[in-house]
Amino acid sequence: MSIKMIINLSLLLLCVILTSTEKQDGYCDLKEKTCDRDFLNEKFIIYDVNPPEGFNLRRDVYMRFAIMLSDARQHNENWKLILPPWYSLYHWKAKQNDYPMPWSNFFDVKSLKKFAPVVELHEVFSKIDSNIFKIDRLYVLQNYDDAFENGEFRDKWEIGGDCDYDGSLWGYNNITVKKTICVKYQGRISKLWELISLNPADKFVMFAHGEIPLHDQYGTKTFWDCRKSMKFNKNLISRAKKYIYKYFNCNNKICNNYVSVHWRRQDFARSRKKDVPSIGGTVKQIDNAIKNYNPHIVNIFIASDGQNSELIELEKQLSDIGFKVHLYLPTQLELDTFKDGGVAIIDQIICSHAAYFIGTYESTFTFRIQEEREILGFDSSTTFNRLCPDNGRCEVPSKWKIVN
């Protein structure tokens, strides 16, 4: 074999390797002819969520669509999920949040792509010829007035009726919708395929109120595989780890010297009084929990959306009985870099590594921490704990244990 042949062969091999990794990541460079052809054959789903919903319910809605699309890929379907940008969330107060943010700000998109065929919206923008992104059909999903017809909840959908799209198309004015259709819907998400199949020529299909369709199956291995793929953006992880190391001198997945609390306030403290405690009640419960779990622990990490005045009072009362209270307070530069969404994730990561966690009842922010702790391998007894109201019933939280 001549040297020239060897070089040619190696180049060919390199090309094959490069093309196959490119395919695996689902990433595609426009200039590549093969990828252009892929794009021509591909079809896309994008969804939006009820505007007032927060970040952590949206993460669960993502999982429903990601699992639906991952299942479809196994049947050789050519559908991809466009990741809807994070835009103008109700709980994000800082001005610097006012533009559509890609998922890569918060998640490791390469990891998401290993589980499901997903693309960022800006990747799609970069591939369409015109400046306008035209959605072929927007299905505005709506709940049925009566979910239990004749006392029975069953999967069903029905086109018709009046509706408005109440979202904002993520603030983009170069997105248009060719046709809007109102659909009453209830039940499993995979039934959306029945709707989609009514118009087989559609390339870009959108669903508004993506929170209405439910998981086909909750808590299965597939559910957890998807959940595990939702790794956070590396900069957020490294910031949280630096904090944990600095204040708790812990470098492990499972730290043994601090307790974490998700103290949800704001709308919860106002309108869910029967589920959440007062400041004094919170102090009493944390103290009791630590006495029962490990009386040697003095460090408490508090994640909260509470007001400064409430947090100062909580910190004071806990300090008075001998605890050391820690909060993650971002610098202005960190807030500008990570935004409200990133800061909340850093809070969640710090809570996830604590020896013992106490959450807020029915908060999806708490649920996502609990899932993270299941993935990290904590004993469930250190995870599924909640703050109770000062008086009255305190339902035991459900334990959603990991399936590997």
Would you tell me which residues interact with ligand GDP (CB under 6 A)?
54-57, 91, 262, 264, 303-305, 340, 343-344, 347, 363-365
Q: Which is nearer to ligand GDP, 219 or 330 (CB)?
A: 330
Contacts 24+ apart (CB under 8 A), 373-381: 374/400, 374/401, 374/402, 375/224, 375/227, 375/228, 375/402, 376/253, 376/254, 376/352, 377/253, 377/254, 378/254
Partner from ligand GDP, Mg ion, none binding residue 277, C-beta < 5-8 Å depending on class: none
Partner from ligand GDP, Mg ion, none binding residue 264, C-beta < 5-8 Å depending on class: ligand GDP
Q: Which is nearer to ligand GDP, 108 or 305 (CB)?
A: 305
Question: Which among 22, 32, 42, 53 is annotated as catalytic?
Answer: 53
Task: Provide the minimum distance between the beta carbon of 343 and ligand GDP in the complex, in angstroms, as a whole number.
Answer: 5
Task: Provide the minimum distance between the beta carbon of 255 and ligand GDP in the complex, in angstroms, as a whole number.
Answer: 18
Residues interacting with Mg ion, by CB under 5 A?
Answer: 54
Q: Is 374 a catalytic residue?
A: no
| CA–CA dist 33, 178 (Å, integer) | 29
In angstroms and rounded to an integer, the radius of gyration of the C-alpha atoms of the chain is 24
Which tokens belong to 21?
A: 């990794």
Task: Provide the minimum distance between the beta carbon of 281 and ligand GDP in the complex, in angstroms, as a whole number.
Answer: 18
Q: Which is nearer to Mg ion, 90 or 148 (CB)?
A: 90
Q: Which is nearer to Mg ion, 54 or 210 (CB)?
A: 54
DSSP code string of 199-255: STT-SEEEEE-TTSSBPSSSSSHHHHHHHHH-PBPHHHHHHHHHHHHHHH---SSS-
Exposed, middle or buried, 336 (CB in 10 Å: 0-12/13-18/19+)?
A: exposed
C-alpha torsion angle, residues 137, 186, 87, 307 (rounded to 10)? 170
Task: Provide the minimum distance between the beta carbon of 334 and ligand GDP in the complex, in angstroms, as a whole number.
Answer: 12
Task: Provide the minimum distance between the beta carbon of 77 and ligand GDP in the complex, in angstroms, as a whole number.
Answer: 31
Partner from Mg ion, ligand GDP, none binding residue 260, C-beta < 5-8 Å depending on class: none
| CA–CA dist 65, 77 (Å, integer) | 14
| CA–CA dist 278, 144 (Å, integer) | 37
Which tokens belong to 378?
A: 């904590």
Partner from Mg ion, ligand GDP, none binding residue 114, C-beta < 5-8 Å depending on class: none
Partner from ligand GDP, Mg ion, none binding residue 371, C-beta < 5-8 Å depending on class: none
Q: Which is nearer to Mg ion, 54 or 341 (CB)?
A: 54
Q: How far apart are the first and last CA of the chain?
A: 50
Partner from Mg ion, ligand GDP, none binding residue 365, C-beta < 5-8 Å depending on class: ligand GDP
| CA–CA dist 241, 368 (Å, integer) | 18
Q: Which residue is nearest to Mg ion (CB)?
A: 54
Task: Provide the minimum distance between the beta carbon of 374 and ligand GDP in the complex, in angstroms, as a whole number.
Answer: 18
Q: Which is nearer to ligand GDP, 138 or 230 (CB)?
A: 230
Q: Which residues are catalytic?
A: 53
